[in-house]
């Protein structure tokens, strides 16, 4: 299980437990699962997708930002594409 926090300049967009997160990295999309190695990466324009333990999948269109993964905690600081 991962703890995900998505923050935009306006507000906290999401905070909760998820089973996976897919993000648009600068070298292509990549997926973050439980026990992922620590990483900090820039994000480009694209779609963030995450799945909650209930099975519900959510997508969020972003203009860019960055992701940090450490000890099953995933932090996204992004600009939302409205």
- Tens digit of each residue's pLDDT (9 = 90 or more) over 22-75: 999 999 999 999 999 999 999 999 999 999 999 999 999 999 999 999 999 999
Positive or negative torsion for Cα 6, 44, 46, 74: negative
Mind giving me the DSSP string for the chain?
Answer: -EEEEEE-SSSEEEEEEESEEEEEETTEEEEE-TTPPPEEEEE-SEEEEEE-TTS-EEEEEEEEEEEEEETTEEEEEEEE--
pTM of structure: 0.94
């Amino acid at each position: 299980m991962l703890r995900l926090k998505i923050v935009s300049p306006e507000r906290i967009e999401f905070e909760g437990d998820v089973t996976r997160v897919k993000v648009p990295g600068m070298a292509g999309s990549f997926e973050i699962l439980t026990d992922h190695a620590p990483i900090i990466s820039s994000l480009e324009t694209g779609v963030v997708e995450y799945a909650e333990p209930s099975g519900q999948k959510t997508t969020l269109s972003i203009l860019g930002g960055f992701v940090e993964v450490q000890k099953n905690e995933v932090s996204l600081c992004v600009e939302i594409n409205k």
